[in-house]
């Protein structure tokens, strides 16, 4: 099969012929139909986060089941599925307490003495997030997929696999925003727009979209933002505090920067909660004023929107088909696998929400 192979930081990927193994007892072979290009891919491509190479990047994807292993009963060939990097074992402490997105059990991967899922001759290729969706096929553990209805368009289904689940989930699960609350979202890329959409679904009374790109702020209104804050035109924190008369109940950082994480905390009112979704570079420390803790302000992280993806994603599909989840406007470009490097470059500019690779 063909795949975009990541071999060196900040070096364009080549489309190469690689080999995929046969499904093991609890594995599923998926023919990739669509794969979104996410900032998490970029963090590894540009070296912000370390990763083993050679690797097939990509993790925000949807496809059709091609073949299943002997012990797989959940899906069958022909089923439409969304993949998710929150691969879960089902029996560890995190899974049993409903926090499957935190599962780190190694049994969902192949052992060192087994044939690698992806290889090129004698060379093993890593799968990013146990998926590797910048390829025509994905061989994954059965707990990395969720069945969806066949009438869901694949390009929009792919976005649910990471960005949408992360953004909406951080609002409804991690922060548990309640109806009538005030919300601010810093960063209006794919995840930030999904946060805004999630806050609207949750019934937030006012939703502030914060960004420096006018086109993204305008797009944020389509997703449910009631107010927009141009961070290039004065202090964003001061603008939010002035507009609300003291700050918001909930804030979300969807960029991955120390400075914006600190801003998210500062724009809270007493008792408010800041949720950091973005991937802040390793080693950077976020500083907050200790006196703010006396007013019960909180700052927390979120992993993939604290999802229960086999429950959440079919519901998100229904929300989209009901017109409540605005996925159409998230797709900025539809490209071919051969255009992967142009897609990555477009993501780096910050001008697009999502480029989606279409395989058929």
Domains and their CATH numbers in the chain: 2-161+306-358 (3.90.180.10), 176-301 (3.40.50.720)
Angle at 102 between CA 258 and CA 324, to 5 degrees: 80
- Single out the catalytic residue among 40, 101, 194, 251: 40
Of 130, 157, 136, 142, nearest to 75 (Cα)? 142
Enter the pTM of the model: 0.94
Asked if 43 is an active-site residue, the reply is: yes
Asked if 38 is an active-site residue, the reply is: yes
Q: How far apart are CA 220 and CA 230, in angstroms?
A: 12
Asked if 70 is an active-site residue, the reply is: no
Q: What is the 3-state secondary structure (H, E, C) of 205-272?
A: CEEEEEECCHHHHHHHHHCCCCEEEECCCCCHHHHHHHHHCCCEEEEEECCCCHHHHHHHHHCEEEEE
pLDDT at residue 158, rounded to an integer: 98
Residue whose structure tokens are 């290729």: 125
- Single out the catalytic residue among 39, 43, 141, 143: 43
Q: How far apart are CA 83 and CA 106, in angstroms?
A: 18
Angle at 45 between CA 40 and CA 46, to 5 degrees: 100
pLDDT at residue 351, rounded to an integer: 65
Each residue's pLDDT, cut to its tens digit, for the chain (360 residues) gives 999 999 999 999 999 999 999 999 999 999 999 999 998 999 999 999 998 999 999 999 999 999 999 999 999 999 999 999 999 999 999 999 999 999 999 999 999 899 999 999 999 999 999 999 999 999 999 999 999 999 999 999 999 999 999 999 999 999 999 999 999 999 999 999 999 999 999 999 999 999 999 999 999 999 999 999 999 999 999 999 999 999 999 999 999 999 999 999 999 999 999 999 999 999 999 999 888 999 999 999 999 999 999 999 999 999 999 999 999 999 989 999 999 999 999 887 766 678 999 998
Give yes or no for a contact between 144 and 74, defined as CB atoms under 8 angstroms apart. no
pLDDT at residue 349, rounded to an integer: 74
Give yes or no for a contact between 302 and 326, defined as CB atoms under 8 angstroms apart. no
Q: Is 141 helix (H, G, I), strand (E, B) or coil?
A: strand
Give yes or no for a contact between 7 and 51, defined as CB atoms under 8 angstroms apart. no
Asked if 99 is an active-site residue, the reply is: no
Q: Is 69 helix (H, G, I), strand (E, B) or coil?
A: coil
- Single out the catalytic residue among 38, 84, 95, 188: 38
Give yes or no for a contact between 169 and 191, defined as CB atoms under 8 angstroms apart. no
Asked if 188 is an active-site residue, the reply is: no
- Single out the catalytic residue among 84, 103, 162, 188: 162
For residue 261, the Cα-to-chain-centroid distance in whole angstroms is: 18
């Amino acid at each position: 099969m063909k795949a975009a192979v990541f071999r060196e930081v900040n070096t364009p990927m080549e489309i190469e012929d690689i080999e995929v193994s046969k499904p093991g007892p609890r594995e599923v072979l998926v023919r990739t139909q669509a794969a979104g290009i996410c900032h998490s891919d970029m963090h590894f491509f540009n070296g912000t986060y370390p990763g083993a190479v050679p690797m097939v990047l990509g993790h925000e994807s949807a496809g059709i089941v091609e073949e299943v292993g002997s012990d797989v009963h959940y899906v069958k060939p022909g089923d439409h599925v969304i993949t998710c990097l929150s691969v879960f074992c089902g029996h560890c402490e995190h899974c049993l307490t409903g926090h499957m997105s935190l599962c780190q059990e190694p049994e969902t991967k192949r052992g060192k003495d087994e044939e690698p899922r992806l290889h090129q001759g004698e060379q093993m290729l890593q799968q990013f997030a146990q998926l590797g969706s910048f390829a025509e096929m994905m061989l994954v553990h059965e707990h990395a997929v969720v069945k969806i209805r066949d009438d869901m368009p694949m390009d929009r289904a792919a976005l649910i696999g990471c960005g949408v689940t992360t953004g909406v989930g951080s609002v409804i699960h991690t922060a548990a925003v309640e109806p009538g609350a005030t919300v601010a979202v810093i960063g209006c890329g794919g995840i930030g727009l999904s946060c805004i959409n999630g806050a609207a679904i949750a019934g937030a009374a006012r939703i502030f979209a914060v960004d420096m790109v006018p086109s993204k702020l305008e797009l944020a209104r389509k997703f449910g933002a009631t107010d927009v804050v141009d961070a290039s035109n004065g202090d964003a924190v001061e603008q939010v505090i002035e507009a609300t008369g003291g700050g918001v109940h909930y804030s979300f950082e969807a960029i991955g920067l120390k400075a914006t994480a600190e801003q998210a905390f500062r724009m809270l009112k007493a008792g408010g909660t800041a949720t950091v979704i973005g991937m802040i570079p390793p080693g950077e420390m976020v500083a907050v004023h200790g006196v703010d803790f006396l007013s019960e302000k909180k700052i927390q992280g979120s992993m993939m929107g604290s999802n229960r993806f086999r429950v959440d994603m079919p519901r998100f599909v229904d929300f989209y088909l009901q017109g409540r989840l605005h996925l159409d406007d998230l797709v900025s470009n539809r490209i071919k696998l051969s255009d992967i490097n142009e897609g990555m470059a477009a993501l780096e500019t910050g001008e697009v929400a999502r480029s989606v690779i279409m395989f058929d």
